[in-house]
Amino acid sequence: MARILVLFLDGVGLGSEDPKLNPMAAASMPTIRELLNGLPLVATSSPQENKLASLLALDAQLGVPGLPQSASGQAALLTGRNVPAEIGEHYGPKPNAAVAAILRENNLFMEVTRRGESAALLNAYPPRYFEAIESKLRLYSAIPMAVNAAAIPLMNFEDLQHGLALSADFIGRGWNTQSDFPAAPEYTPQEAGRLFGKVAQTYTLSWFDYWLSDYAGHRGTFEEAVNLLETLDAVLGGLIEIWDLENDLLILTSDHGNLENLNVKGHTANPVPALLIGSLKMRQAFSAGASDLTDFFPGVLNALFDGA
């Protein structure tokens, strides 16, 4: 069975080529540029298909007025439904009752496991996250909610310590700055990428929620955003070293724009990337007719079960 790993980059749209405006154009990202024939991950680089990768632009607005938001955008990716249209607005950051009901009815994790295959979210969550969820002081965001609905356990600090999951920054450094977190192993970005790929190879569908990109878009400086992206690119380089590019698929995508325009601290109306890396047959099965967030769910299933 072929495998798909989704690297979800929260709040990353396809923006301008201007390196003074867009950290994606300013950062040194040799891995991304090699995948895109020397081009950065910006709007003018899409669409393209080459021997290594394909890049599509996915509409995140879905015909609904206003700026795309996290809960409804992520739910559209995970279910294939036009969630903003169904609930009458873009909504976020956390799911409301209407979005939660859609996610719990069916989602990508549920669908893959229903077909007898394995799926996992590879983020490690600290003890206080589970405590806050249990006490109802914290709500699930859309991605862990979908995983929970599929009866898949979220990874914890023990999974992190045993190399079965990764911290939010991949490398463990941010985790270890939290005084109440259990100690985590630390890695170079390249080591983290290789571990990421090794863990992902044990599941048919694996997903990593990289929420730091959205956080940087809202609260970070331009320099912080560039540093974040350069670390991400190095992690991706390590991952690709061990990923089976002939038979498996790696997908980078997002829910809405944000980080690509730091002139504003809110979301943008820009399309989001679907950067497909690996098996050409799976890339083409995913890409057929794909134009917006609702095409992600059927695209993944087509690539896994028809295009593999």
Q: State how far the Cα of 262 lies from the Cα of 276, in Å rounded to an integer.
A: 26
Q: pLDDT per residue over 265-306, tens digit each?
A: 889 999 999 999 999 999 999 999 899 999 999 999 999 998
Q: Compute CA distances 107 → 1, 28, 80, 180, 306, whole Å.
A: 20, 35, 8, 33, 18
Q: What is the pLDDT of residue 66?
A: 97
Amino acid at 182: P
Q: What is the pLDDT of residue 183?
A: 94
pLDDT category of residue 233 using cuts at 50, 70 and 90 = very high
pLDDT category of residue 190 using cuts at 50, 70 and 90 = very high
Q: What is the DSSP code string of 67-94? A: ---HHHHHHHHHHSS-HHHHHTS---SS
What tokens does 8 get?
């979800």
Higher local confidence (pLDDT), 125 or 263: 125
Q: pLDDT per residue over 192-212, tens digit each?
A: 999 999 999 999 999 999 999
**Residue 308 neighbours by CB distance under 10 Å:** 18
Q: Compute CA distances 256 → 59, 85, 123, 190, whole Å.
A: 9, 16, 20, 27
Q: State how far the Cα of 12 lies from the Cα of 119, in Å rounded to an integer.
A: 24
In 3D, which of 75, 50, 49, 47 has the Cα closest to residue 62? Answer: 75
Q: State how far the Cα of 149 lies from the Cα of 259, in Å rounded to an integer.
A: 29
Q: Compute CA distances 195 → 36, 221, 284, whole Å.
A: 24, 29, 27
Contact residues for 152 (Cβ-Cβ < 8 A; gap 6+): 109, 113, 119, 120, 121
CB 75 within 8 A of CB 99: yes
Q: State how far the Cα of 87 lies from the Cα of 108, in Å rounded to an integer.
A: 20
Q: Where are the domains of the chain?
A: 8-47, 59-187
pLDDT category of residue 230 using cuts at 50, 70 and 90 = very high
pTM over 0.75: yes
Q: pLDDT per residue over 52-105, tens digit each?
A: 999 999 999 999 999 999 999 999 999 999 999 999 999 999 999 999 999 999
- 225 burial type by CB count under 10 A (0-12 exposed, 13-18 middle, 19+ buried): buried
In 3D, which of 265, 304, 254, 259 has the Cα closest to residue 8? Answer: 254
What tokens does 82 get?
């036009």
